[in-house]
Amino acid sequence: MLLPLFRAAVRDISVTGKRRISTTTTAAIQQGFGKITKFASRHYGHKHPETEFDSDSDSRNHHQREKGKSEFWLRKMRTFHGVIDVNKDGIVSYDDFLILAKRFVTLGHLSENQEREFQEILKEVWEKQWGAPDCYNLVKTEQYLENMQHVLSDPSLKRKVHNFLPYLFKAVDRDKDGVISVEEFKLFFECLGLEEKDAVHSFTTIDINKDGCLSLEEFVKLGQEFFLTEDQHKPSKVFWGPLINP
């Protein structure tokens, strides 16, 4: 494409060895360099697809590292820490776990096998997240926040987050009809040490389809979503009661 332009330039070189390029040839050469520039820009001026992918990947990785940093999510985690801090001393111990478990078991709606499984799962949750279940292992709020931030960044932990939820559901489903009514949800809040009026508000908010009950699937999904989402508009934000003040 550009060869004829350079041949024209050669023809315009005088026999004396002096270069005498005509105006026409100069314009042609300039036009040729213009085409070269456009060609190079078109083929080399853009990022290589792999480079673009790497850039996007870095952006995604950076976003993942930022999970659990929003003030809204931190507020939710502080709220839950306060719920499981039964004696309200600012520290969660394994004893707090046992007291909560006993409240649900005492309702008498779990079978012996379910009671045993419930206790084992709570112990497993404690050991995986905080270590030995002894009186010296105390979890302060900031430690709990750090732990849950780690859960957000680990897909395997996210899938298992608070897998004791089905047992809470079965414990308060006193008529064993497979759904929880607002009255049974009040029982759930009572075991958590929360007020009845807050139970009504939370139930009304999380009963998304407004059918007046929560299935096991809905209950577990909402309970897990509380820990995993940073979307302020999700109804699950009140699953464990009203959020603490910022």
Residue 233 belongs to domain with CATH number? 1.10.238.10
Average pLDDT over residues 99-118: 93
Nearest to 114 by CA among 171, 163, 165: 171
Range of the domain at 231: 162-238
How much is the pLDDT for 37?
45
CA 240/CA 235 separation, integer angstroms: 11
Residue at 109 is within a domain: no
Average pLDDT over residues 92-96: 94
Residue at 83 is within a domain: no
Look up residue 22 and give its two tokens.
Answer: 């005509």
Residue at 157 is within a domain: no
How much is the pLDDT for 80?
96
How much is the pLDDT for 47?
41
pLDDT band at 48 (very low <50, low <70, confident <90, very high): very low
Mean pLDDT over each residue of the chain, to the nearest integer? 80
Average pLDDT over residues 119-142: 88
pLDDT at position 228 over 90: yes
pLDDT single digits (tens) 71-86: 999 999 999 999 999 9
Residue at 219 is within a domain: yes
Average pLDDT over residues 177-198: 97
Residue at 189 is within a domain: yes
How much is the pLDDT for 54?
38
CA 5/CA 74 separation, integer angstroms: 68
Residues 6+ apart with CB under 8 A from 13: 19, 20, 21
What pTM value is reported for the model? 0.71
pLDDT at position 1 over 70: no
Average pLDDT over residues 48-73: 54
CA 169/CA 104 separation, integer angstroms: 10
How much is the pLDDT for 8?
47
Nearest to 24 by CA among 43, 38, 2, 5: 5
Nearest to 190 by CA among 182, 123, 138: 182
Residue at 179 is within a domain: yes
Residue at 18 is within a domain: no
pLDDT band at 34 (very low <50, low <70, confident <90, very high): low
pLDDT at position 141 over 80: yes
pLDDT at position 227 over 90: yes
Identify the residue with better confidence: 65 or 186: 186
Angle ∠(157,158,162) on CA atoms, nearest 5:
85
* Cα torsion 110, 114, 115, 121: sign: negative
Share of the chain above pLDDT 90, in %: 57
Identify the residue with better confidence: 114 or 28: 114
How much is the pLDDT for 31?
56
Number of structural domains (the chain) is 1
Residue at 168 is within a domain: yes
